[in-house]
A and B are shown apart, each in its own frame.
Chain A
Amino acid sequence: MGDNEIRQAFLTEAKEIIENLESDIVQLEENAGDREIINRIFRYFHTLKGSSGIAGFTEVYEFSHKIENLLDAVRGGKIEVTDSLIDLILDSMDWIRDSIFTEGEGDAAMNERKSILLGKVGEFKKPDASVEKPLKSEDAAKARAAAHEKEDAANKYKYYRVRASFIEKIFEFGIDPLMVMEDLASHGPIIKNIVDKQNLPEFEGIDPEKCYLSWDIIIKSKSALNQINDVFIFVKDENKITVEDVTSQYMSEEKLHAPVYEKKLGEIMLESGIISENELDEAIALQNVEGKRFGDIIVNKGFASEEEVEHAIKEQAILKKKVENTTVRVDTVRLDNILNLLGEIVIGQSSLSRIAHEMENDYGTQLKNIIYGLDRTTREFQEQIMSIRMIPIGPTFNQFRRFVRDIAHSLHKEMKFVLEGEETELDKTVIERIDDPLKHMIRNSIDHGIEQPEERVKAGKDPAGTITLKAYHQEGNVFIEVNDDGKGIDEERVREKAISMNLIKPDEEASREKLLSFLFMPGFSTAKKVGDLSGRGVGMDVVKTNIESLRGSVEIRSEKGRGSSVKIKLPLTLAIIDGMLTKTGNNTYIIPLLSVMETIRPAREDIKTIEGKGEVVSYRGEYLSLIRLYEIFNIKPRYENPWEALVVIVESGRTKVGLLIDDMIGQQQIVIKSLDNYITQSRAVSGASILGDGKVALIIDIFGLMEDVVSA
């Protein structure tokens, strides 16, 4: 069977149709309103059109299509059956017969006859010309043109996201969704396939003839969007199908097999081979000196074209977006909640550990080993959570650049600003609260420390002063230093001021350390004049308070003529402290280990009462105020006599005191639970923690305690 047979079959069919047509048209002349006859005539032309198209009689196909359209209008009552219409149909039928059987297609006379007939068809059709539908062959031509365009774009992979969810009874349409999806898969590799099985019932309740699954697929394909859409041609109307071109999202992704992180412009240009390593180094060096934009330097130096730089900037933006997409923003409150829960776990663990210690058999040992392992895990867990809260100090440091420049400008001083250890990480809360104290110290340094340029030149220094901001980790703490190369602190003037404030007697010997510690006293300022900036009496005492509220400490060092240095020591985090557990009466109190210097049992003669200072304890030649913890908390102790009990020497800033406690229990990492407004009327307490036995222990705030007791 082949083309010839189809042609033969068509000739037979056409002959039969034309015979039937002839008799029907004659009948129509007699019964102009007979709908049945009109329908039959319409169908004959319709069939002729279909068959001629298949059999390759293109002109007959196109012509009968026009007549079919005309008859459709007649069928729909839009055109009346008149003698001239019947004549036209008869003439059209004759033309078709002659085309097929005698004259053949393409004959000039035939073409002329056709034109006349179509002209008449046009007259009939005029009122309703718009309904005429385009022929499939015209569509096909358009499609071919479109396909041609596509070829240019071909050979390039595209990424499509296809979401397909089918109606439950799709099988009843003879459609297997799996076959549709296989059809899709034949267009290219599937990058991601998420099959949603949520709607699939339990085995017992399933109706096996219904469709329950749906798909969310990313496919990589060279096919055009409409080719992908064509996969769903028979299902797109009733089912939920979406096809999206997501190439732009995925192209950049494919390049990044490596873990995603933001990149510097230079890095990107180096990787893509636009600039060499030497050029990169040179540009970076220039950037540091000139402070120009990296891209501009690259272009000025002729290392790359402006377009190349722009392209790299775009790529950088894509990366940045990508990074943003792969990160999650979490409220720190949630992290705190996790930490609190972890605290509960730690408490449970220490309860277990206590029980394990009380068990004397093998089980006790086994349990202890398990708890030991668990301990390590929780500690690591804790560190991981803490690390989430950690952010580098760099951005905070950098924002001081402008600040330094502005202050130096207003004081007619020249300044260089150097940063070290910008990558040092510390707790977000700490960073937020360190900002103001740092500003204050920087301002002090420029104002009081750095000399005027001419003065500096006289002293043999660079006319521009240098302030160095430096951060580093050491022994579980973060240190931040503000160093300047100014004239240092004039100890003589500090001494004078201290004497005038009655802090020392005129003839009293005072160590340099002690003198410098006066700088932290409220109202202590050595500035010669009351300037715009610092020296207004709101001095280092505020800095110190701020730092201590972060459980940190601060110290000043200075060398005359060489500069001064303020060193801040901060805990890595505010959520956990190393605490010393102490016992007084029936209660446990936690003293932050950071503040503890030593624990002593004083001799009876070490305890004295000094006028104006109250009860004191002698410690290394100093008399320190003795604070009886049980008095602060108004409880009954086991020992009232200090020589029977213990004294913990604690220090806040430069002030030391002795804390009288009953006994010492040990040291432990403590997860701080905030007390909110519950006990905070007492400044002696900063928080609480729950211990292994479930009891609550208060955490002593040494700084607050001293403020409350000593100064009172």
Chain B
Amino acid sequence: MGKYIMIIDDSPTIRISVEFAIKNMGYDIQQAENGVDALEKIKTIISKGNEISLCISDINMPQMDGITFIKEFRKTDKFTPVIILTTESEDNKINQGKEAGASGWIIKPFQPAELVNVVKKFLK
């Protein structure tokens, strides 16, 4: 049974750099381009008997933004931590994210080590 970390961001640069930062933490990693893409991929992962351990999601994305994604995700998964990726110009998004059920956040741009530190607050 695999344990997955979801990386959800419309920017491939961000997705790749997030994956680069956390790839050695012992989890399988799945990228998604937006909320809709993420929800579909999560469904597939779970249907194969695997588990989602953490989601790292951007806020501002086409099709389905991060806030909506968290709300949808929380309908079926109450407890998995969700870290939102945000920028300093959108700190009101942090509150919206928390209301939707986000666990923590990291502000872009970040150093790989910063991201790892945040992830470690939720996964050990």
Task: Show the binding face of A for B, using Cβ within 8 Å.
Answer: 1-2, 5-6, 9-10, 12-14, 43, 46-47, 49-55, 61, 65, 68-69, 72, 133-136, 139, 171-176, 179-180, 182-183, 209, 233-234, 237-238
Please, could you name 16 A-B residue pairs with CB atoms under 8 Å apart, sorted by A? A1-B16, A2-B20, A6-B13, A9-B15, A43-B60, A43-B62, A47-B60, A49-B108, A50-B109, A55-B13, A139-B88, A171-B78, A172-B74, A174-B102, A179-B121, A182-B124
- Rounded to whole Å, the gap between the CB of A164 and the closest CB of chain B is 14
- The CA of A654 and the CA of B101, in the complex, are separated in Å by 91
Residues of chain A contacted by B12 (CB below 8 angstroms): 9, 12-13
Contact indicator per residue, chain B 1-38, by CB within 8 Å of chain A (1) or not (0) = 00000000011111111011001000000000000000
Q: Interface residues of B toward A: which range?
A: 35 or more
With beta carbons under 8 angstroms apart, the residue of B14, B60, B79, B105 that contacts A172 is B79
Contact A6 B87 (CB under 8 A): no
With beta carbons under 8 angstroms apart, the residue of A46, A54, A172, A179 that contacts B124 is A179
Most buried by A among B10, B101, B121: B121
4 extra interface residue pairs, beta carbon distance < 8 Å, beyond A53-B108, A172-B101: A9-B15, A43-B60, A49-B87, A179-B124
- Rounded to whole Å, the gap between the CB of A705 and the closest CB of chain B is 83
Residues of chain B contacted by A183 (CB below 8 angstroms): 121
Contact B122 A65 (CB under 8 A): no
- The CA of A183 and the CA of B121, in the complex, are separated in Å by 7
Contact B80 A174 (CB under 8 A): yes
Task: Show the binding face of B for A, using Cβ within 8 Å.
Answer: 10-17, 19-20, 23, 58, 60, 62, 74, 78-82, 85, 87-89, 98, 101-105, 107-110, 121-122, 124
With beta carbons under 8 angstroms apart, the residue of B13, B82, B122 that contacts A51 is B13
- The CA of A49 and the CA of B20, in the complex, are separated in Å by 19
- The CA of A69 and the CA of B10, in the complex, are separated in Å by 20
With beta carbons under 8 angstroms apart, the residue of B11, B23, B79, B121 that contacts A47 is B11
- The CA of A5 and the CA of B18, in the complex, are separated in Å by 12
Closest A-B pairs by Cβ, 8 of them: A53-B109, A174-B81, A51-B13, A174-B103, A10-B13, A234-B104, A50-B108, A54-B17
- Rounded to whole Å, the gap between the CB of B68 and the closest CB of chain A is 15
With beta carbons under 8 angstroms apart, the residue of A54, A139, A179 that contacts B108 is A54
- The CA of A2 and the CA of B74, in the complex, are separated in Å by 33
Residues of chain B contacted by A53 (CB below 8 angstroms): 108-109
Residues of chain A contacted by B14 (CB below 8 angstroms): 50-51, 54
Residues of chain B contacted by A6 (CB below 8 angstroms): 13, 16-17, 20
Contact A174 B88 (CB under 8 A): no
- Rounded to whole Å, the gap between the CB of B58 and the closest CB of chain A is 8
Residues of chain A contacted by B82 (CB below 8 angstroms): 174
Contact B89 A72 (CB under 8 A): yes
Contact B101 A173 (CB under 8 A): yes
- The CA of A43 and the CA of B110, in the complex, are separated in Å by 19
- The CA of A175 and the CA of B102, in the complex, are separated in Å by 9
Residues of chain B contacted by A43 (CB below 8 angstroms): 60, 62
With beta carbons under 8 angstroms apart, the residue of B10, B62, B103 that contacts A175 is B103
With beta carbons under 8 angstroms apart, the residue of B13, B79, B102 that contacts A13 is B13
User: Knowing A43-B60, A54-B109, A173-B101 touch, does A9 contact B87 (C-beta < 8 A)?
Assistant: no
- The CA of A174 and the CA of B110, in the complex, are separated in Å by 22
- The CA of A358 and the CA of B26, in the complex, are separated in Å by 82
Closest partner residue, chain A, to B55 (CB atom): A174
Residues of chain A contacted by B74 (CB below 8 angstroms): 172
Residues of chain A contacted by B13 (CB below 8 angstroms): 6, 9-10, 13-14, 50-52, 54-55
Contact B23 A1 (CB under 8 A): yes
